[in-house]
Amino acid sequence: MAGQMRKALTYKLVLLGDAGVGKTAIAVQFVKGQFNPFLESTIGASFMNQTVTLPDETLIKFQIWDTAGQERFHSLAPMYYRGAQAAIVVYDITNRNSFEKAKEWIKELQQQGDPNVVVAFVGNKVDMPEARKIQPSEGESYASENGLFFIETSAKTAENVSELFMKIAKQLPSIQRQKDITSGPSNPGVKPGVGAPSKGKGGCCG
């Protein structure tokens, strides 16, 4: 895979988080550059594709699996995150409950998901600072404790949205290469985030 420069590397990315935190909004902002405050509630899952180019000209194609957030759809989730190489776990910075839910998702991914999955811990809706309930430091510290990378976004203003995906993209090939080098075809026991240092050190080319 490493040799094919022109061809896009394809990665499955899954969006997880409580209902109404802005999962679909983040995906739509990233893929279409649009924002709609009343996006349809997602039932089951929906799909989008988007390709990004890294500074080293590597093409990364994201297959985005956007999932339903309502608690009762949780039982369907394993089927959606199965085989995902990246996960974005979203909470709403104005909603404490959604932050707790996001932590549960992280726990579940760590227990059930592919150990190589790159996990981003995302606080959305920074365009509403007056309603903020979760300080950035709180998200940041949870993320670093769990070896995830952390970023705050606004799907509304597009703040940090493409940065989020670029950061994930940068870390993906590095893990891919690491995988090729270290253990060949079998699954290496890399814990989530090992290849994904937080605070934006940029795992890819480093």
Query: Rule CB under 8 A: which residues touch another protein?
Result: 10, 12, 19-20, 28, 32, 34-49, 63, 65, 68, 70-73, 75-76, 79-80, 83
Closest CA to 115 of 92, 87, 136, 95: 87
* Cβ-based nearer residue to another protein, 74 or 132: 74
Closest CA to 48 of 31, 25, 69, 35: 31
* Cβ-based nearer residue to another protein, 6 or 72: 72
> What's the min distance (Å) between Cβ of 123 and another protein?
19
CB atoms within 10 A of CB 171: 24
CB-count burial class (<10 Å; 0-12, 13-18, 19+) for 99: buried
* Cβ-based nearer residue to another protein, 29 or 198: 29
> What's the min distance (Å) between Cβ of 198 and another protein?
27
* Cβ-based nearer residue to another protein, 94 or 198: 94
Closest CA to 11 of 150, 119, 172: 172
> What's the min distance (Å) between Cβ of 193 and another protein?
22
> What's the min distance (Å) between Cβ of 106 and another protein?
17
Cα–Cα distance measured from residue 28 to residue 134, given in angstroms and rounded to the nearest whole number: 24
